[in-house]
Amino acid sequence: MQDEDLAVMMRALGHPVRLSILKIVAKSQQSCCCADVTQCLPLAQSTVSQHIKVLLEAGLIERRSEGTKNCYVVVAPKMQKLESAFGSLTRGLIS
Amino acid sequence: MQDEDLAVMMRALGHPVRLSILKIVAKSQQSCCCADVTQCLPLAQSTVSQHIKVLLEAGLIERRSEGTKNCYVVVAPKMQKLESAFGSLTRGLIS
DNA sequence: AGCATTCATCGTTAAATAACGATATAATCT
DNA sequence: AGATTATATCGTTATTTAACGATGAATGCT
């Protein structure tokens, strides 16, 4: 994986609100929409939507529209790739 | 590990220049100072020093003064803690 | 068709970040 | 003591980010 792509994902994870959003999305077994996330956080809907966009653009979550809602899921393969890239980074750094 | 701390480290890793700096510091077996890093990058010394500060504050590298130079090393235990925190994060997200 | 719901996007503002050159500090050397 | 070296910090500028309220577009309901 390219350093730039890795950096984009790291940056996406580099904000506590986005970590929270990821956890909320992951935890809710059935479809999790923007309103669901917003309800869990002390932030405006538009702010949450913006954070979601960052996660989307990093490829860490995916949108799928469901009626009038937009639901989000964590992209497991991407997370795994990230973890492995991160692993080889750290291995390279500390060996 | 607290979400905020995790986010600080992720953010520190969320810039390609800082990834480069970490790699440069890790690769150079003997003491690696700011000038050494700067020589490897198309950036001003002050800019490199600023990036180094971000890595220092995240606890990912450590300074140790050596004569008139300041040398840097990757803090292996911190990297390992980060990797394990990251691992449990992703495990929580994709399970 | 008209209304309600959901949510992305727009426009704005304040704060943080990235980059630079210039300067100041601290250690070494002559 | 004075000169040199290495580098952190300062001051600045431009860009990006975070947060908000308001608006608009798409979908579903009556």
**Residue-level pLDDT at A31:** 87
Long-range contacts of B34-42 (CB under 8 A, 24+ apart): B34/B69, B34/B70, B34/B72, B35/B69, B37/B72, B41/B17
- What does the pLDDT look like over B29-42, one tens digit per residue? 888 999 999 999 99
- What does the pLDDT look like over A68-90, one tens digit per residue? 999 999 999 999 999 999 999 99
CA distances for A14 relative to B4, B36, B60, B69, angstroms: 9, 28, 15, 31
Q: What DSSP state is assigned to residue A85?
A: H
> How many Å apart are CA B18 and CA B23, to the nearest integer?
9
- The domains of chain B are located at 3-94
- What does the pLDDT look like over B74-84, one tens digit per residue? 999 999 999 99
Confidence of residue A34 (pLDDT cuts 50, 70, 90): very high
Question: For A13-33, what is the mean pLDDT?
Answer: 95
User: Does the C-beta of A90 come within 7 A of strand D?
Assistant: no
| Residue B76 in contact with partner chain A when CB distance is under 8 A | yes
User: Does the C-beta of B63 come within 7 A of strand D?
Assistant: yes
Query: Residues A93, B22: contact at Cβ < 8 Å?
Result: yes
What is the dotted CATH code of the domain comprising B3-94? Answer: 1.10.10.10
CATH fold of A3-90 reads: Arc Repressor Mutant, subunit A (1.10.10)
- Check whether A24 has a pLDDT greater than 90: yes
